[in-house]
Structure 1
């Protein structure tokens, strides 16, 4: 009888403190999750670099709040300024958990099968695990005493509306820089500031130059210089000869995807840690 009671308590504890949601991993490496916003279900990119939840206009038109005199000014990694209206979701259901009064913005954009971005602010008090092998996100407390394999992250916040995460990495096993960690970039994306080209002793003329229009404002063009460097690394991951892109006007020292850090990553915003669980 005692074993039965213990087993029941463990099962109940798991149900109370662990909530999972499967995700679709696109060929590009983007994580697509389902969430219900004020009773309306949609498909969203799970974006640790998005800063704030962003819902496309076609989806947001059915939400309760139609207009707002509040606004949010954000800057994309390329330095492009974006001014968007600021709203609050009465309720979001994600991974079996309800989140109240979460800030969000809207933008008139259309991407097939997608309704916007889910970002980090609503998870500021919730530890979560991204499992690339099982293709699931789990909301579950992470015990730092049982998970020693971790590295520090730094949070950038704006008036409690947005959260982005950063960490330190090394280039060529020598130069320590701070990079934004951006799951919304897809797999194996490594953007570096063009200011680092001389530091790394790279001949800029030998890099491949492309120019692209902004998805938000076609009048804005950004230059991208593609090439390779010797390595990118942190305490637990080391990539040799990665393809990188030096971005003209990048407002960070660097910005990378997260998949290269591990197959199973635990993220704790309240503890400023990422735990490498696999």
Structure 2
């Protein structure tokens, strides 16, 4: 996905959010969209916990009144291993509900996201716990009190953070696959509906047989080709909370995937609280 290009970095906290709810939409594709403002300009964005980096479309970027190029850039790698060299720009006054950041570093791409204005990464919430409520269709900015209540009402899953030079942030957790392997999976709300991807080396380790395989050229560097196999998986469950599980699903196994695996998060529960400072996920089924 092009989202691996996206960057949001070095956010200066102007004020922490008070408890508030921000409306979200859940697309048929499984993607979560939410509105935010940059320098007074409102946009509609994909909330992507697996992007690591954040970007705007060129069309939205050009609407922002105040921005300036940053001297340095950022080198990232897509999950398939493809290298990306990214230019950075500084923008000001980033607002999502009551959450306010005074200064951001971003990038942009000349792409069409079907009317959406870009993708927001977890860097925006580095110091702000939040809850995705799929029933009420809202994102809740948590306070210490509401976060404490959330912890008591749900299953708690430890998170591991991958932070790259203060410019990118991804979250991971351990899951058991077929009651056989314990793998560290990237929790990726931007992966799309029913997407479960594993490194292809686990096909053999799990004793699975591929149904078929496909090759796909990168949208950016057409000389870069990734190969994917499909296979049926019997069970996937959170290591510390085995009641959080999905059974009998079809997964993708990708050659050269840089992680053990990547999965969408919507299936985990009706409410998912992401607490980056506390390094944990709280799930209510």
Give yes or no for TM over 0.5: yes
Q: What aligned pairs does 1:194-273 form with structure 2 within 5 A after superposition? A: 194-203=200-209, 206-234=210-238, 235=241, 236-273=243-280
Check the 8 A contact 1:70/1:87 in 2, yes or no.
no
Distance 2:263 2:169 in 1: 16
Deviations 1:6-47 (A, max 9, x none): xxxxxxxxxx73121111111010001111111111111100
Shift of residue 268, structure 1, vs aligned partner:
0.4
Match of 1:80 in 2: 82
**How far apart are residue 107 of structure 1 and its match?**
2.0
Correspondent of 2:185 among 175, 179, 186: 179
SS at match of 1:196: helix
Superposition CA RMSD, Å: 1.6
Match of residue 23 from structure 2: 22
The correspondence of residues 129-148 of structure 1 with structure 2, limited to 5 A, is 129-141=131-143, 142-143=147-148, 146-147=152-153
SS of the equivalent of 1:252 reads: coil
Runs of 5+ in structure 1 lacking a partner?
1-15
Given that residues 19 and 97 in structure 1 are in contact (C-alpha distance below 8 angstroms), is that contact kept between their aligned partners in structure 2?
A: no
What is the TM-score of this pair, normalised by structure 2?
Answer: 0.87
Bigger mean CA deviation after superposition, 104-113 or 126-135: 104-113
Alignment correspondent of 1:11: none
Change beyond 3 A, Cα 1:148–1:46: closer
What does the per-residue CA deviation read over 1:147-195, in whole Å, with 9 as the maximum and x for residues that have no partner? 4620100000011111100000010012100010000012221000001
SS in 2 for 1:146: helix
**Who is 1:149 aligned against?**
155
SS state at 2:51 partner: coil
Q: How far apart in 1 are the matches of 2:199 and 2:119?
A: 25
- After TM superposition, the structure 1 stretch with the greater mean CA deviation from structure 2, 90-99 or 214-223, is 214-223
TM superposition shift of 1:145: 5.9
Residue in 2 that maps onto 1:70:
72
Whole-Å Cα distance in 2 between the matches of residues 103 and 195 of structure 1?
Answer: 36
1:276–1:148 distance in 2 versus 1, CA, 3 Å:
closer
CA distances 1:103-152 after superposition (whole Å, capped 9, x unpaired): 32222221211111011112111110001111111101211763462010
- Is the deviation greater in 219-228 or in 43-52? 219-228
- Partner residue, 2:118: 116
SS in 1 for 2:190: helix
The corresponding residue for 2:46 is 45
Q: How many pairs were matched up?
A: 261
Aligned to 1:92: 94
In structure 2, distance between residues paired with 1:122 and 1:239? 29
Gaps of 5+ in 2: 1-16
C-alpha deviation, 1:277, in angstroms: 2.8
2:4 matched residue in structure 1: none
**Separation (CA, whole Å) in 2 of partners of 1:69 and 1:88:** 10
